[in-house]
Amino acid sequence: MSAAEQHSDRVAPAATAQTARRGTGRFGSILSLDDLEPAARRRLPRPIFGFISGGVETEWSVRANREAFSQWAFMPRVLNDVSERSARQPLFGREYDAPFGVAPMGAAGLAGFRADLALARAAAHANIPFVLSGSSFIPMEAIRAANPDTWFQAYLPTARDAMAALIDRVAAAGFETLVVTVDVAVSGNRENNVRNGYSSPLRPSLRLALEGLRHPAWLAGTALKTILTDGIPHLENAAATRGVAVLSSRAARTFTRDSMCWTDMKWLRGRWKGRLLLKGILSPADAVMARDLGMDGVVVSNHGGRQLDGAIPPLRALPGIVAKAGTMTVLLDGGIRRGADVLKALALGADFVFVGRPFLYAAAIGNEAGVAHAIDILKQELRRNLALLGCNAVDEVASRVVRADAGFPVLQHEAGE
C-alpha cells in the first residue's frame, strides 16, 4: 500500500449532506462570507491569520478587488415567473450546482486540520469544482480519492526534467485538469508576513509558541492534532516527490521562477494531454498568447492581491480578456464575497468564478461542516438574487447589470473595459 493510500485510510469518513445541515446550528452567527473572517481571526494565531488574509505592500490590490464590484449595479425586472429558477452552470462538459468553485490555497493545513480534505469533500458534496494547491500538505493521490473531480494547481519548477516529473505524477494520479499559476516569477513583497512572524517553512520560536498558547482551540484542534495524527506536515505536491517540512529551523524554499516563459507553456501543452489552464492572466495580450498555444482556459486573477501591489482588479480586466479569448473558457477569482459578486462577474463575461479566503476561513473554524455552511450561504444568495432580478438562469443576468455611475447596460465582452 502506498503512502498516499495509507494516508487516505487514516482519514475520517466524509460528512454527509445531513451532517452539514445539522452543523448549521454551530454557525448561527455566520450569515455571510464576510462573517467568516473575524471568526477566523479569533481562532488563528496572528502569523497564520496574517498569512491568509494579507496582501503585499500597501494592499491596494486587495482593496481594489472588492471595490471593483461596487462599480456595477443591478437593474431588475419584475413580475417574471421565477419559481423554476436554477443557478446550475455547465463547465468543461459537467453541470455544477452553482457557477462558483473553491480556489487553490497553499498551506491550507495551517488553518485547519486536514483542511485540503475538508475543502475537497465539501466541494464534492455541494457539486462544485475544487482546485488543489500544489503547496498542500496532503498527497494529491489522497485528495483525488476523496474527490475525483478535483483539479490540480501547480507552481511549476523551471528545470524541464523536474517539470516533466511533476506533471507525470499529476497525470498518473488521474487528474484531468491542470491549472498552472503563471504570475509568480518571484515571490511578492509580503511585508505583513515579516511583521506577523510568518515564514515558510515556519521557524520554531518563542513568539510562535506563545501565539499557539494564546489560541488553544487552534493549538489542540489543528497543530497538535496534525502532528499526532500525521507527523510534521510537508509540502506533498510541489514536486514529483515529497518536499520540505512545514515546520523547520533549517529547511528553505525558493519561489524564483523568473526564467519561465511562453516556450515552457508550449512544451507543457504538448506534454499534458488533459485540460490545461493558465492562472494569473490580466492582459488581453497574454490571453491571445494562451489562446494561440491551445490552452483550454485562463483564470483572470491578480493572485488575491498577494503578488504585485497595484495590479488591476480581475473584474476590471475581465471584459478585455473575454474579447480575445476565442473558444477558451474564461474563469475569474479575486474579491468575491457575495452572490451578487458572482452574478456581476458572469454578466461581464466570466464562464465561472472561484472563491478563496472565505472558504479557508470556514475550514479553520468548522472543518468540512464549516465549508459546507459557507458554500450553502453563497448558493442561497445566488438563488435569492436570481429571483429578485427576475431571472430563471444565470445566463439571463447580463441584461440586468449596469454601470453604477452611468446606468447604461453592459456591452457584454466589451473589449475596451
Domain ranges across the chain: 3-403
pLDDT score of 17 = 41
For residue 277, the surrounding DSSP H or E stretch is: strand 275-281
pLDDT score of 32 = 98
| Global pTM exceeds 0.75 | yes
Instruction: Grade residue 75 by pLDDT with cuts at 50, 70 and 90.
Output: very high
Residues with a catalytic annotation lie at 303
Distances (CA, A) of 293 to 160, 171, 287, 296: 18, 20, 10, 9
pLDDT score of 417 = 42
What architecture is the 3-403 domain classified under in CATH? Alpha-Beta Barrel (3.20)
pLDDT score of 12 = 39
Contact 177, 203 (CB under 8 A): no
- Which position has the grid cell 471568526? 39
Q: Averaged over 282-300, what is the pLDDT?
A: 98
Q: Which of 25-34, 71-80, 161-170, 390-399 has the lowest mean pLDDT?
A: 25-34
Q: Averaged over 106-114, what is the pLDDT?
A: 97
Nearest to 175 by CA among 94, 273, 98: 273
Instruction: Grade residue 257 by pLDDT with cuts at 50, 70 and 90.
Output: confident
Distance between CA 83 and CA 271 in Å, rounded? 47
pLDDT score of 239 = 92
Distance between CA 301 and CA 291 in Å, rounded? 17
CB atoms within 10 A of CB 219: 16
